[in-house]
Structure 1
């Protein structure tokens, strides 16, 4: 790995403190899982309550922005949190993220119209963008590399659990309390997490005397936001040949080119160019991008399939995806224990992505040919098993390959590519679905249910079921192709054995 052009000033380490105890690590870890749960749960809970929110506030034409504003700001700020965590330390930045999220939650709960809610959701997203990268960075500070896979596997578990619980909790709170409480419920959970982190997260972290790259930060955030606006709204609310897409596309291109030129000359750029000199980081980012294009693009349509094609209720459709959660939890747990015993990880990752690819293919075939639960459920379980072997490991791999001064921004950028892949997957799959339905003369009834940012059909005639079946099967076939592409790229990943002290074994130049 090439770090010859490291422009960072000399590190500054605080005075030594007492060793962090196992009890303190557990307290911080549980608090971090609560914080991650807040961010993950928020999207699915809000999606369930959207019909009631629109009924109270109006603004049906701007419905998708309630989801899009949150996704845009959270995704765009992920790289910044990593850089700031390397400069200021992890503890201050997790507090900033948590406070921004909770302030946004309060404001959302008291919103009086749809415009206010959209703006306040964007504020929420500014905080939520720090949850995933900062949690992974803090875990890497506290836990040796060979134990991280087990800890990072719990992150996948959190997302799996919240994807099932979110719609249920959102429905219950909306029905028995009001939609305002889906935001207010964040306050007591966030307060407990804040207290636990403040009390237990005290391990000194090396920080750097820094020069804040304001111009780079503006260019980075602006180019990402403009790109995400095109991806999220192009072809839906904005016509692909419309003025909005052209303006945002031009802004993204101009700021992107300007950012690249700026990174080469800045004394301490917001994104260190040396980060992209690491072959491990580059390949890991591409693999996560492809994996989440396939995963989010396909799995987000599980509820649509089970309800419209299989005839299940919303609650039943949620239960049908529990198999994926169980598979992910099982493989993450087993894989974490294996990495504690062996410093090698690539074999498990390749096997996991291969299993996920086969599972996608089986699901596409089973949906198209009308097979029942006896084929679908084992395939969904296998999909979770495969992904549980890939996602937690990849974070450990990147952290292991990068020097300490780049670990924060590297972890955040990996989270960014993961989030970007999910957004691309949902947007692309939605376009495939709309094209297939339009081609067969079926109207997509837009309305109440939104999953992962995509507004999906809420009703269909019996005669349209075969059309929906074919359209959703096509989406899963696309997922198979993208995950296969990720598997091929993964084969070129250099394997740097993990060491007890956290440094990777010597790597060939460019790795």
Structure 2
């Protein structure tokens, strides 16, 4: 039984890692994708939906499809998600325009976002309350590993030489998505062989649960089928099946479709309102303010619905709301800072330092390595100093790192170790926050809700990434357009070659200066986000 569960956990962790890698993989190749689908480098704001489309699908699908797996079983839903993930990867790899690449990434996001809660639900099926936290931690580690390895993975795979087959590009950034197809197929085989088709019924008190049969239904005499929720259990019988939180499942077939739709609509409206395809004259598009207002209204209706609905996407009704919301708020703001860093440090390395995808990813690796070390350090410090103190200190250190990054000189190539040190400071600060936030939300939640509490932390961080990158990039791209609006692109007609080269050099220098101003101001905004996170962290619960 233990071996079978470990193999199932390995398969589940592998699919979560696959989805997490693709959440961050485009960070490295975003400029190349933008160029190939017809987005000019001076209008990179049009590439923002490539990132936000994936995140929107990821966040919107995460809670809803996890509940659907309660009805249809873990294995069928994982298979469906892996198939959709492969389809989205193919659409992205074949994309020849902005619409198709965004559509492919959104499909990938929907499929990838569902894999985490379904795997958590699988752990709820196979592990008891005492062993479950360790298994959940392993899945969480796979999720975090994806954020650390995603950009480097993308940079490495993008080095595959350009290869054309029947008119289809297989190399370069396209290879990242073509590789997903066999990886998804292998993951589907592993899931078929290891994951039970339906959740097993809990064993009666004192009994030993029969191992799940990955190939199909249990043989006669094995674990009983899940009880019918419409019928009362006989005296002394086992309790109703548990969901990934350990709490009793809602009645069969009850899925909060309304809540899921409201959450998706609210997030979509906020992202659309923040997306400005022409930021030359304003931060927001003409439809920005009314669309954002509509998104805020939809978010309010979502909260109202979740308070009153008998079936909820993330049911944390037994948890103290003040400490919970503060902890989720810190996770939200840390997520915003994290993705802004991953996208715009990569941009900085490729535009101001002139590095290729892999070398730019190696610059970002300073931050990611420090983030990983900080995550380990944060767990150790939180045990001794308490979660709140460590979370506050981490956000303050991160703010200091981003403030230092906002002071980077225009000549980054000559800055020496300054860039590396500043990235390490920011990474350590954000990394230190990860463990205290997770620990605090588990401590204020009943043991029966630890699974859903862990999922809530991930949802909050991903929502922070989605809204943060949309909002901060809207400001940054507006600043770039305003700084370059007066520049005229030199043309090699009617002038001598030497004059043209001089004009081109002057134009390039001014564009580089505008990019430098854009990036450093965005890092300053990120420092403010981290300071806000430190203030919110002061409201986190005290350690017991």
TM-score range, shorter chain: 0.7 to 0.9
Do the aligned partners of 2:52 and 2:466 also contact (CA within 8 Å) in 1? no
1:295 alignment counterpart = 338
* Alignment-derived partner of residue 352 in structure 1: 394
For 2:494, the equivalent position in structure 1 comes to: none
CA RMSD of aligned residues (A): 4.2
What pairs with 1:143-162 in structure 2 (closer than 5 Å)?
145=133, 152-153=140-141, 155-162=143-150
Q: Secondary structure at the match of 1:222?
A: helix
- 1:377 deviation in Å? 0.5
1:487 lines up with 2:534 in the alignment: yes
Count of aligned pairs between the two proteins = 464
Equivalent position SS for 1:402: coil
Shift in Å, 1:488 = 2.0
Partner residue in 1 for 2:103: 119
Candidates 465, 472, 478, aligned match of 2:519: 472
CA distance in 1, matches of 2:45, 2:480: 22
| Aligned counterpart for 2:404 among listed residues 362, 377, 384 | 362
Structure number with greater Rg is 2
Tell me the alpha carbon deviations over residues 91-142 of structure 1, each in whole angstroms, 9 at most, x when there is no partner: 5544443332123224444568765554343322211222455556767886
Range 195-204 or range 292-301, more displaced: 195-204
- What's the CA shift for 1:257? 4.4
- Asked if the contact 2:88–2:107 (Cα under 8 Å) also holds between the matched residues in 1, the reply is yes
* 1:470-494 C-alpha deviation (Å, 9 max, x unpaired): 3322221211111111112112211
Q: Is the 8 A contact 2:136 2:451 kept in 1?
A: no
Paired position in structure 2 for 1:419: 462
Q: Relative to structure 2, which stretch is displaced further, 21-30 or 424-433?
A: 21-30
- Structure 2 residue 181 is the aligned partner of structure 1 residue 187: yes
- Structure (1/2) with the larger helix percentage: 1
- Look up the match of 1:7: none
**What is aligned with 1:259?**
302
Write the distance in 2 (CA, Å) between the matches of 1:160 and 1:313. Answer: 19
Is the alpha carbon distance of 1:217 and 1:50 closer, same or farther for their aligned partners in structure 2, counting shifts above 3 Å? same
> Quick check: 1:100 aligned with 2:87?
no
193 and 166 in structure 1: CA distance in 2 versus 1, 3 angstrom threshold: same
CA-CA distance at 1:396 after TM superposition: 4.4
Counterpart of 1:282 in structure 2 is 325
Residue 160 of structure 2 aligns to a residue whose secondary structure is: helix
- Distance apart, 1:46 and its partner CA: 6.2
- Ranges in structure 2 where 5+ consecutive residues have no aligned partner: 165-169, 201-240, 244-248, 490-505
Displacement of 1:334 after TM fit?
Answer: 5.0
Q: Secondary structure at the match of 1:373?
A: coil
Conservation of the 8 A alpha-carbon contact between 1:263 and 1:269: yes
Distance in 2, matches of 1:25 and 1:147, equals 7
Contact 1:147 1:336 in 2 (8 A): no
- Where relative contact order (Cα < 8 A, 6+ residues apart) is larger, the structure is 1
Structure 1 spans left out of the alignment, 5+ residues: 1-16, 447-458, 498-511
Tell me the equivalent position of 1:213: 256
More deviation, 326-335/120-129: 326-335
Q: Check the 8 A contact 2:272/2:291 in 1, yes or no.
A: yes
CA distance in 2, matches of 1:495, 1:477: 30
- Per the normalisation by structure 2, the TM-score is 0.70
Does 2:72 match 1:29? no
Match of 1:509 in 2: none
State the 1:253 CA deviation. 4.7
Q: 1:169 matched to which residue of 2?
A: 157
User: Measured at CA, do residues 187 and 444 of structure 1 come closer, stay the same or move farther in structure 2, by a change above 3 Å?
Assistant: farther
The yes-or-no answer on 1:227 pairing with 2:233 is no
Residues 345 and 380 of structure 1, relative CA distance in 2, 3 Å threshold: same
